[in-house]
Amino acid sequence: MRHLFLLFLAPALLPAAPPAPIEWEATTAILGGHTAIVKLDSGARIEGAWLGVTPTTFTMDVKRAKGKNRPAKGVQTIGRSAIVELRVRRHRIRGRGFGVLTALFLTPNLLLRTSSVPVIWTVCIGVGVAPIIAGAIWDHSSQVVHIKPES
């Protein structure tokens, strides 16, 4: 039984192959409806909706901006050459859902096996909250978008 569990767990433990580079013009279609996170050569990090591209620029609706020389919030057009890293964050709640279900399944089962009050609190906090936090971290993870070099 343990080997069967490891067989199902193996794909999650193996490193994923890096995604294939995409064309610059296809970024609008791929990033549309998701949150784009861009690190700029000025040291700034911007986050928001990817609106469109031209051969030399991209346009974003900036929702958050951090770092020195950060652009203002709102619709901004920035040069393509300023991109150091481009990431995408998909909007999902799957991890938090799995976390809640795991907590609801594990917590009562473990509580029925103990009568010690400190152990009960440890189980409730550790087993009840940890899967939900792990699911939230998984939901907010982002992936690097590799863009083909300019031709």
- Segment 19-33 mean pLDDT: 83
pLDDT band at 2 (very low <50, low <70, confident <90, very high): very low
Which class is domain 2-90? mainly beta
- Segment 40-47 mean pLDDT: 92
Residue 24 predicted with pLDDT over 50: yes
- In terms of average pLDDT, the best of 4-8, 93-97, 122-126, 142-146 is 142-146
3-state secondary structure of 116: coil
35-39, 79-83, 84-88, 90-94: least confidently modelled range: 90-94
Q: What is the 3-state secondary structure (H, E, C) of 39-93?
A: EECCCCEEEEEEEEECCCEEEEEEEEEECCCCCCCEEEEEEHHHEEEEEEECCCC
How confident is the prediction for the chain on average, in pLDDT? Answer: 78
Q: What angle do CA 16, 9, 145 make, to 5 degrees?
A: 20
11: tokens are 């794909």
Give the pLDDT confidence score for residue 111 in this predicted structure: 67
pTM: 0.64
Top pLDDT among 11 and 104 is at: 104
Report the candidate in 74, 88, 86 with the shortest Cα–Cα distance to residue 34: 88
Residue 47 predicted with pLDDT over 90: yes
- Segment 58-85 mean pLDDT: 91
